[in-house]
């Protein structure tokens, strides 16, 4: 992927991995738009990254996904890259009773939104000289986590969708890429839960270098091992992780 001269929409790009990617794409000479629910976070991101464009939106809502597409292609007709990065992680026991709406929201943000945004943006992306859809999954797509069972399932689904979409768009100018983060030190799931993870800057630098080199599926550390592992290696890693966390 060429890092320069793009117009890129990064969902959830006001913090964590999305913000680190936004900073690097701007430095490489692309225009970047980020969206998220928290207006204060978007303002802070704008202060950190000169020229960053921002938009509030809640991607749990199908109508807000449509409104985001309409606004983005209206304001930025050269938009040629969609990075589906927004995500949430909820730690829960499946048997604990709670409102279905809380569980459905995690599925809506992590999986339904990237699927609908792909559908909404593909007609626009087809008209660009070069375009890409980049989905951010997780090493947990390959090793189901007992501590966050819905999260892991949404990421496995998004990995599957990404591979299928790549095949569907094979004969178009739209590349379909996947970033597969390991544990990265961000506020995902709540402050402090991922402070054992790798530094976000180190991760983002490595990802950008590999995207620039033309790779379509990029992991880092343990997620690189997992995306390439055999079934028996994945079973062993899943067993070890779930023994440690339960
Ligand atoms: N950190 C890790 O260890 C790790 C590992 C594997 C994969 N990932 C994935 O990496 C991606 C980025 O996560 P992160 O680690 O950078 O955590 P993060 O800092 O919490 O970033 C998540 C972003 O998504 C946005 N978001 C959440 N719900 C949204 C919604 N309904 N509508 C619009 N935006 C929404 C959040 O902004 P608002 O709250 O303001 O909406 C936030 O900016 C996620 O997909 C995550 O699953 C992270």
- pLDDT (tens digit, 9 = 90+) per residue, 63-109? 999 999 999 999 999 999 999 999 999 999 999 999 999 999 999 99
Active site residue 172: no
Task: Give the pLDDT score at 51.
Answer: 96
Question: How would DSSP label each residue in the chain?
Answer: ---SS-EEEEETTTSHHHHHHHHHHHHTT-EEEEEES-HHHHHHHHHHSTT-EEEE--TTSHHHHHHHHHHHHHH-TT--EEEE---------TTS---HHHHHHHHIIIIIHHHHHHHHHHHHHHTSSSEEEEEE--GGGTS--TTSHHHHHHHHHHHHHHHHHHHHTTTSSEEEEEE---SBSS-TTSTTTTTTSBPHHHHHHHHHHHHHTT-SEE--THHHHHHT--HHHHHHHHHHHHHHH-
Task: Using the atom order of ligand 1, give the atom closest to the CA of residue 84.
Answer: 45
Which one of the listed residues 111, 121, 147, 151 is annotated catalytic? 151
The rounded Å distance from CA 192 to ligand 1 centre is 14
pLDDT of 246 over the 90 cut: no
Which domains, from first to last, does the chain contain? 7-245 (3.40.50.720)
Task: Give the pLDDT score at 130.
Answer: 98
Which pLDDT tens digit goes with each residue over 10-34? 999 999 999 999 999 999 999 999 9
Looking at residues 240-244, what average pLDDT do you find?
A: 93
Which pLDDT tens digit goes with each residue over 117-136? 999 999 999 999 999 999 99
Which pLDDT tens digit goes with each residue over 27-59? 999 999 999 999 999 999 999 999 999 999 999
**With bands split at pLDDT 50, 70 and 90, how would you rate the model's confidence at 244?**
confident
Which pLDDT tens digit goes with each residue over 132-174? 999 999 999 999 999 999 999 999 999 999 999 999 999 999 9
The rounded Å distance from CA 98 to ligand 1 centre is 23
Work out the mean pLDDT of the chain and round it to a whole number: 97
Looking at residues 212-237, what average pLDDT do you find?
A: 98
Pick from 11, 36, 68, 153 the residue to mutate for probing ligand 1's pocket: most ligand atoms within 8 Å of its CB.
36
Ligand 1 shell residues, CB under 6 Å: 11-12, 14-18, 36-38, 41, 57-60, 85-89, 109, 136, 138, 181, 183-184, 186-188, 194, 197
Q: Whose CA is nearest to atom 42 of ligand 1?
A: 12
pLDDT of 239 over the 80 cut: yes
């Amino acid at each position: 992927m060429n890092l320069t001269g793009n117009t890129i929409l990064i969902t959830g790009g006001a913090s964590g991995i999305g913000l680190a990617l936004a900073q690097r794409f701007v430095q490489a000479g692309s225009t970047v738009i980020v969206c998220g629910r928290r207006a204060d976070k978007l303002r802070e991101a704008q202060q950190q990254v000169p020229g960053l464009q921002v938009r509030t939106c809640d991607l749990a809502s199908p109508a807000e996904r449509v409104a985001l597409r309409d606004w983005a292609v209206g304001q930025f007709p050269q938009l040629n890259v969609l990075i589906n990065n927004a995500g949430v992680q909820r730690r829960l026991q499946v048997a604990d009773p709670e409102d279905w709406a809380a569980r459905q929201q995690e599925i809506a943000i992590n999986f339904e939104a990237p699927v609908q945004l792909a559908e909404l943006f593909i007609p626009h992306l087809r008209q660009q000289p070069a375009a890409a859809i980049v989905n951010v999954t997780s090493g947990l797509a390959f090793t189901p986590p007992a501590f966050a069972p819905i999260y892991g399932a949404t990421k496995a689904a998004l990995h599957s969708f990404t591979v299928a979409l790549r095949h569907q768009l094979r004969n178009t100018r739209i590349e379909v890429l996947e970033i597969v983060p390991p544990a990265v030190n961000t506020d995902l799931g709540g402050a402090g839960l991922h402070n054992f993870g790798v530094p976000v800057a180190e991760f983002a630098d490595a990802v950008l270098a590999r995207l620039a080199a033309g790779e379509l599926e990029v992991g880092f550390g343990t997620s690189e091992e997992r995306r390439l592992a055999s079934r028996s290696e994945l079973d062993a890693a899943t067993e070890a992780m779930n023994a440690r966390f339960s």
